[in-house]
């Protein structure tokens, strides 16, 4: 945990320096925003990972956007140096540094760091999930059973009609809007119950939060309840490392209930 903490905090310092100074926003080929903070933070993380985990390939967002994707096997890292760039550009503090280790298609270790608040979450399959609080590590555990009705999390920057329809069908009354991978972390901490996402994401957006949530006892699946796998290459209907929609929850019963509603919602 301390190794991941050090590299994420180092990347976070670079991000905060530029956050306070203000940065110019550019657009990638998919029209998503990118800043100098993304690139500089990624350079810090790539150097740190090469030192701490020599020989383990790293798929990083900005390098991948530039066509620099290493050959990967059953074990590799996924890095999003600045998840929530829209929040960063808008002056909201809900952006994170995400680092995850994937083994055999499953995120087994992940760190999510919020530079603006200093909050950090780390999860490992064999050790559990922890939040850095008051200078020490505090164990995280999902809320189980879920509240009735459940409390749902929604993307602050990516709302859509399908998500609204599903939440309505499940009787959700309370919705909390949060940016970046912090949604997974709030589930892991037991502050909310359910996070559906129909819109497109990339593996580096979700892997670290996925690892934290599952280490805390939660579940992440595809929209229809099937496993959400990582390291997806040569996909017939999307680019490399693109995710389908997904469901994330503390209580697996919410996934089962939501997946039965998905067919009607997908038709919207």
Residue 178 structural domain = 151-266
Same domain membership, residue 127 and residue 196: no
Same domain membership, residue 205 and residue 84: no
**What are the angstrom distances between the C-alpha of 216 and each of 130, 142, 181, 198, 224?**
8, 6, 15, 23, 22
**DSSP string for 22-68:** ----EE-TTS-EE-HHHHHHHHHHHHHHHHHSTT--EEEHHHHHTT-
Q: Is the pLDDT of residue 168 over 90?
A: no
Domain-ending residue, one of 105, 140, 175: 140
pLDDT at site 75: 98
Domain-ending residue, one of 120, 140, 160: 140
Where residue 242 falls among pLDDT bands split at 50, 70, 90?
very high
Q: Is the pLDDT of residue 265 over 80?
A: no
In a domain, 146, yes or no: no
State the total domains in the chain.
2
Same domain membership, residue 217 and residue 248: yes
The mean-pLDDT minimum among 18-27, 69-78, 113-122 falls in 18-27
CATH code for the domain of 208: 3.40.190.80
CATH code for the domain of 99: 3.30.540.10
Q: What are the pLDDT digits (tens) for 88-137? A: 887 888 999 999 999 999 999 999 999 999 999 999 999 999 999 888 99
Q: How far is 182 from 70, CA to CA, in rounded Å?
A: 28
Mean of pLDDT values over 146-156: 89
Beta pairing class for 75-83 and 58-60 = parallel
Over the chain, what is the mean pLDDT? Answer: 91
Instruction: Dump strand ranges (E) for 134-245.
Output: 136-140, 151-155, 174-178, 194-197, 201-202, 219-222, 242-243
In a domain, 125, yes or no: yes
In a domain, 122, yes or no: yes
The mean-pLDDT minimum among 39-43, 166-170, 219-223 falls in 166-170
Both ends of the chain: CA-CA distance in Å?
A: 43
Domain-ending residue, one of 96, 121, 140: 140
């Amino acid at each position: 945990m301390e190794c991941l903490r050090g590299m994420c905090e180092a990347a976070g310092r670079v991000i905060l320096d530029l956050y306070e100074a203000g940065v110019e926003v550019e657009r990638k080929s998919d029209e998503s925003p990118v800043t100098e903070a993304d690139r500089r933070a990624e350079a810090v993380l790539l150097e740190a990972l090469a030192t701490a985990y020599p020989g383990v390939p790293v798929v990083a967002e900005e390098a991948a956007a530039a066509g620099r994707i290493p050959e990967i096997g059953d074990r590799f890292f996924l890095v999003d140096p600045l998840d929530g760039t829209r929040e960063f550009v808008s002056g909201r503090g809900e952006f994170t540094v995400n680092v995850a280790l994937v083994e055999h298609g499953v995120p087994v270790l992940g760190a999510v760091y919020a530079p603006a608040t200093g909050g950090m979450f780390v999860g490992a399959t064999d050790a559990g999930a922890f939040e850095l609080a008051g200078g020490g590590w505090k164990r995280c555990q999902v809320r189980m059973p879920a509240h009735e009705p459940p409390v749902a999390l929604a993307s602050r920057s990516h709302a859509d009609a399908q998500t609204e329809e599903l939440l309505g069908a499940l009787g959700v009354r309370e919705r909390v809007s949060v940016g970046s991978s912090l949604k997974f972390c709030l589930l892991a901490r037991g502050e909310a119950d359910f996070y559906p996402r129909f819109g497109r994401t990339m593996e580096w957006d979700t892997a670290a939060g996925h690892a934290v949530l599952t280490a805390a006892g939660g579940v992440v699946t595809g929209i229809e309840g099937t496993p959400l796998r990582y390291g997806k290459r040569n996909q017939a209907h999307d680019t490399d490392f693109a995710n389908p929609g997904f469901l994330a929850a503390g209580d697996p019963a919410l996934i089962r209930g939501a997946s039965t509603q998905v067919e009607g919602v997908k038709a919207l």
